């Protein structure tokens, strides 16, 4: 299924039914009085988060969603039938904003969360509601209210605990294959990842976390170069970023320190909140370096980066160091969860 993480839709709530003007007419009761019923309410439009859906592709092509109108009132004080509401199922993590004003309408962050998108119109009142001791034959009824019509923008931010950063071919997809059951495409050319992949990393019984792999970033990504900028929003909900660095690039002109600084600069230009998230350095492809040079190469890199945070050395292709890294990530996330206010 094609991955779609943005869409624009229109929602039309139903109009309320009109109230009725009617009078009781029966044999031997010449002046039965008013008996016009009320109109039914119009249908509303709701959105519900569904964890079984992972793309907005349904809303890329079906853009207009209309609820039905309420039924009009009738004689003998019969009220019109209210219209059924319609419920739009969306992926958990969808943010809904008003297309015209940009105001947040709903953030469907949890499975089963429901949000009202457009309110149906109220039913009109029949003339039975207007009778009184001084007005025994009212010929007044109110029309049904109009339903809301809104243009909405849908934006999906996948729900993941950990996000992967890095240049194309840094080994992000290989790493997620090594620690989870996800199987993103892996090849020896850039941009093999064209859309985000999610993988569940199981560390032990009842201990797991979700990791997100997005397309690699290149210089100028914040201004729209490459593919990664389109999907950086999917890292906004993560609690930890793993910056994957290719410490043994095949290109002799490549500089791992310069490349790593490029990623950090692009993140900082794109979103300050994302830049301030906890970030660990993961030095990948250590197996391509001679065993006696690995420690020195890692030390030189960290010194050049002036890195004071946590760092790990792995070889994603054969799984070396990946289990230890996954365990450290799980411990970090569990600490974050215990520190969160209940």
Q: Is the pLDDT of residue 192 over 60?
A: no
66-75, 101-110, 271-280: segment of lowest average pLDDT: 271-280
Q: Is the pLDDT of residue 225 over 60?
A: no
C-alpha distances in angstroms, 251 versus 11, 122, 297, 307? 52, 67, 17, 24
The residue whose two tokens read 């064209």 is 194
Instruction: Please report, rounded to a whole number, the percentage of residues in the chain having pLDDT higher than 70.
Output: 88
Question: If you write DSSP's letter for every residue of 172-214 in order, what string do you get?
Answer: HHHHHHHHSS------SSS----S-EEEEEEEETTEEEEEEE-
List pLDDT tens digits, range 55-101. Answer: 888 898 889 999 999 999 999 899 999 999 999 999 888 999 999 99
More confident residue, 107 or 251: 107
CATH of domain 162-339: 3.40.50.300
Q: Is the pLDDT of residue 116 over 80?
A: yes
| Pick from 215, 90, 217, 208: nearest CA to 160 | 208
More confident residue, 231 or 48: 48
14-18, 33-37, 234-238: segment of lowest average pLDDT: 234-238
Sheet holding 64-66, edge to edge: 64-66, 6-12, 149-156, 94-98, 104-108
DSSP at 233:
G
Confidence band, pLDDT 50/70/90 cuts, at residue 227: very low
Confidence band, pLDDT 50/70/90 cuts, at residue 339: low
Give the residue-averaged pLDDT of 271-294. 88
Sequence spans of domains, the chain: 6-156, 162-339
Residue 166 has what pLDDT? Answer: 82
List pLDDT tens digits, range 198-215. Answer: 778 888 777 888 888 876
User: Distance between CA atoms of 273 and 278, rounded to whole angstroms?
Assistant: 10
List pLDDT tens digits, range 315-334. Answer: 988 888 989 999 999 998 88
User: Distance between CA atoms of 203 and 122, rounded to whole angstroms?
Assistant: 53
Confidence band, pLDDT 50/70/90 cuts, at residue 186: low
CATH 2.70.210.12 fits 6-156, yes or no: yes
Rounded to the nearest 10 degrees, how much is the dihedral formed by the CA atoms of 20, 26, 29, 35?
Answer: -20
Average pLDDT taken over every residue of the chain: 84
The residue whose two tokens read 């709530």 is 13
| Pick from 283, 266, 279: nearest CA to 240 | 279
The residue whose two tokens read 């059924």 is 84
Q: Is the pLDDT of residue 189 over 50?
A: no
Listed in sequence order, the residues at least 6 apart from 34 whose beta carbon sits closer than 8 Å to its beta carbon are 21, 22, 23, 24, 126, 127, 128, 130, 131, 137, 138
């Amino acid at each position: 299924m094609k991955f779609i993480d943005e869409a624009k839709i229109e929602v039309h709530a139903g109009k309320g039914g009109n109230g009725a003007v009617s009078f009781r007419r029966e044999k031997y009761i010449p002046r039965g009085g008013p008996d016009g019923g009320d109109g039914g309410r119009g249908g509303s439009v709701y959105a519900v988060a569904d964890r079984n859906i992972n793309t907005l592709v349904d809303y890329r092509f079906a853009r207009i969603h209309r609820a039905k109108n309420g039924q009009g009132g009738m004689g003998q004080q019969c009220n019109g039938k209210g219209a059924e509401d319609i419920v739009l199922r969306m992926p958990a993590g969808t943010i809904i904003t008003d297309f015209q004003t940009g105001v947040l309408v709903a953030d469907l962050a949890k499975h089963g969360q429901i949000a009202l998108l457009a309110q149906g119109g109220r039913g009109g009142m029949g003339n039975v509601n207007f009778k009184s001791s001084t007005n025994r034959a009212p010929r007044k009824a109110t029309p049904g209210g109009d339903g809301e019509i809104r243009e909405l923008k849908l934006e999906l931010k996948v729900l993941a605990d950990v996000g992967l950063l890095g240049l194309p071919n840094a080994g992000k997809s290989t790493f997620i294959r090594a620690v989870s059951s996800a199987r993103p495409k892996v090849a020896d050319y850039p941009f093999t990842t064209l859309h985000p992949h999610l993988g569940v990393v199981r560390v032990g019984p009842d201990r797991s976390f979700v990791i997100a792999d997005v397309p690699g970033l290149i210089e100028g990504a914040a201004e729209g170069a490459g593919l990664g900028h389109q999907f950086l929003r999917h890292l906004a909900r993560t609690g930890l970023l793993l910056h994957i660095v290719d410490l043994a690039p095949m290109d002799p002109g490549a500089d791992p320190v310069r490349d790593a600084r490029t990623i950090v600069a692009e993140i900082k230009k794109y979103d300050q909140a994302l830049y301030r998230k906890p970030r660990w350095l993961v030095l990948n492809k250590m197996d391509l370096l001679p065993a006696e040079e690995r420690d020195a190469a890692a030390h030189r890199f960290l010194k050049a980066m002036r890195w004071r945070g946590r760092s790990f050395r792995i070889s994603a292709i054969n799984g070396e160091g990946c289990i230890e890294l996954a365990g450290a990530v799980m411990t970090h996330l569990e600490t974050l969860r215990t520190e969160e206010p209940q």
